[in-house]
Structure 1
């Protein structure tokens, strides 16, 4: 299994996207986002996505040269049309705009439509926290991968949500998860690696539990986390990110319609002083960390800590890329004339 530095992986990824006609600034933004996902330990949203994005381009779903544009703008709310370009480009633009509005008016909210896959949501929420704001990001997704509670056929997207909260320290509280029990990309990674998945992730086309990742791609479905609770959250996200933004609800979608995105930034100083707020946050998080660990656990962590620990480790030791995935990346790189040592 090859192990690459973040810099090496960034250069390979950027050059592949540039080779297919992506402007340099967009290629850099997308490559940086994917490599950051690998650094944070979310390999399902890392450079493995190169392969899927190339499929989107070949199928005419992703325009590498497209630029997002603001189509509705108000003091606290804006709508961005992604114009079917790279989702990351539109999403970073969206959070930057939400931050600007929150700095002026306490709240800033942005919806994005006609938007391709935006990747790891935590990256955008974290941008707000780095500016001492609370960041909230959610998106609906297509095609449908998730069976509703009590059902056996796909009806909902994985519909993830992320919340980032400033702590006054180096690292924010960072919550980021799909409302399915696992992101579809994590099943895809296991599929590429030829490995089984845990029971409880997927049901096959007959509604039976399975440990074979390929069953998901043969008419099976993911399950929501927490049964009816995760299902309810997922449906609410679809209604907000689809109906409110104009991207469209994706319930029952059989084809790729992209992501409908909702982002919000909140300036805590509209409520209280930043110092008072972050002290309250740190005190609460430290109290949680002080909980004696249960059997099988070394310590109690708060959301975001596993990711930041992974980033420190991988910046030092490198990013491992499974052989089947690296072989496919090398194959497409060669196809587009990108030399990989």
Structure 2
């Protein structure tokens, strides 16, 4: 397995994206987000997504040369169109605009329509907390892979929710979660690594768990029955909470902004029609409620209490959301981003077909 430098992963993403015709500034933003995602060990949403993007390009769904457009602003809100391009550039623009609006109004809310996959939602929530604000991100999805409680067929996606909050002494609190038991692309990672899928992640059309990585990939992405379980559930026997959260994410990132809902869209969508994914971004200044600094001080105290909780294993400390990703980033900056052999082969093929140079180099 190759452990590639972060710089070479960024350069590889940039080389392919620009070869496809993406303007260099938008490609740079996208490559930065993809690399940051891989550094934080969210391997399902980084450079491995080039496979999916290539397929979208081949179908004509992805208008990669288009620039995002601002549709309107009203008070503390704004509405943007991704113009059928990749979701990373418009999402960075949207959260930066939400932060700007919050600086004036105390809160900023920005919706996005006509977008595509935007990678890891936490990347955009972090933009807010790095500016001293609370961030919230949700999105609709293209995939139909979640099996709702009581159903034998997938209806919803992995609709993500990300939340961030600034701390003073500690790293920012960053919760980045799929509303399924696991993000669909994590099943793809197990498929690429030929690694057994954990029980409860994927079920077949009868609600029985699937652990074979290739069968799991088939049920997740290829078949009309079975799929991934809702967060906290195991198919037909699971709770309603996981897919209730998925609905929350779609209501804000889909219904509110006018994005499509995959099961309905698929009845009429042509192969080359854009996906029309929607996103929702919120930034909130803590000092509109409390004197400056008090929120961060209280959050530090909360995190201290959690860190100090009695441990099951004395050698394994209690962590809060965001810390595993921060630790992974430090480790991967030093030792490289792991690229499985199967993925490395796929990237070489993508680069060759795009007319881009293969530039991944070992750390």
TM-score range, shorter-chain basis?
Answer: over 0.9
| Structure 2 residue matching 1:176: 3-state secondary structure | strand
Segments of 4+ in structure 1 off by > 6 A?
Answer: none
1:218 matches 2:207: no
How many residues matched?
341
| Structure 2 residue matching 1:132: 3-state secondary structure | coil
Give unpaired runs (5+ residues) of structure 1. none
Normalized against structure 1, the TM-score is what? 0.96
> Counterpart in 2 of 1:122?
122
| Structure 1 residue matching 2:320: 3-state secondary structure | coil
Q: How does 1:67-216 map to 2 (within 5 A)?
A: 67-169=67-169, 171-212=171-212, 213=216, 214-216=218-220
Deviation at 1:206, TM superposition (A): 3.7
What is the RMSD computed on CA atoms of the aligned residues?
1.6
Alignment partners' CA distance in 2, 1:73 and 1:251: 31
Render the CA deviation track for 1:138-189: whole Å, top value 9, x for unaligned: 1121231101111111111111100000002462100001000000010111
Render the CA deviation track for 1:65-106: whole Å, top value 9, x for unaligned: 111111121111111111111100110111011011100001
| Structure 1 residue matching 2:125: 3-state secondary structure | helix
> Counterpart in 1 of 2:19?
19
From 283, 286, 292, the counterpart of 2:304: 286
1:333 matches 2:340: no
Deviation at 1:339, TM superposition (A): 2.7
Alignment partners' CA distance in 2, 1:253 and 1:146: 16
Normalized against structure 2, the TM-score is what? 0.90
Alignment partners' CA distance in 2, 1:321 and 1:224: 29
Alignment partners' CA distance in 1, 2:14 and 2:99: 27
From 234, 239, 247, the counterpart of 2:259: 247
Deviation at 1:109, TM superposition (A): 0.4
CA contact (8 A) 2:260 2:277 kept: no
Of 37-46 and 162-171, the range deviating more from structure 2: 162-171
> Counterpart in 1 of 2:336?
318
1:304 matches 2:322: yes
CA contact (8 A) 1:180 1:222 kept: yes
| Structure 1 residue matching 2:143: 3-state secondary structure | coil
CA contact (8 A) 2:140 2:159 kept: yes
| Structure 1 residue matching 2:140: 3-state secondary structure | strand
CA contact (8 A) 1:238 1:250 kept: no
Alignment partners' CA distance in 2, 1:333 and 1:197: 29
Alignment partners' CA distance in 1, 2:113 and 2:284: 22
Deviation at 1:286, TM superposition (A): 0.8
Alignment partners' CA distance in 1, 2:229 and 2:99: 34
| Structure 2 residue matching 1:141: 3-state secondary structure | coil
Alignment partners' CA distance in 2, 1:28 and 1:141: 23
Alignment partners' CA distance in 2, 1:119 and 1:324: 21
From 231, 235, 240, the counterpart of 2:247: 235
1:48 matches 2:52: no
Of 143-152 and 89-98, the range deviating more from structure 2: 143-152
Higher RCO, 1 or 2 (CA under 8 Å, sep at least 6)?
2
CA contact (8 A) 1:34 1:46 kept: yes
CA contact (8 A) 2:170 2:300 kept: no
Alignment partners' CA distance in 1, 2:229 and 2:265: 16
> Counterpart in 1 of 2:236?
none
Shift in CA distance, 297/154, structure 1 to aligned 2, threshold 3 Å: farther
Give unpaired runs (5+ residues) of structure 2. 233-238
| Structure 2 residue matching 1:110: 3-state secondary structure | strand
Render the CA deviation track for 1:209-245: whole Å, top value 9, x for unaligned: 2113233223331111123211211112212221111
From 242, 257, 267, the counterpart of 2:285: 267
| Structure 2 residue matching 1:218: 3-state secondary structure | coil
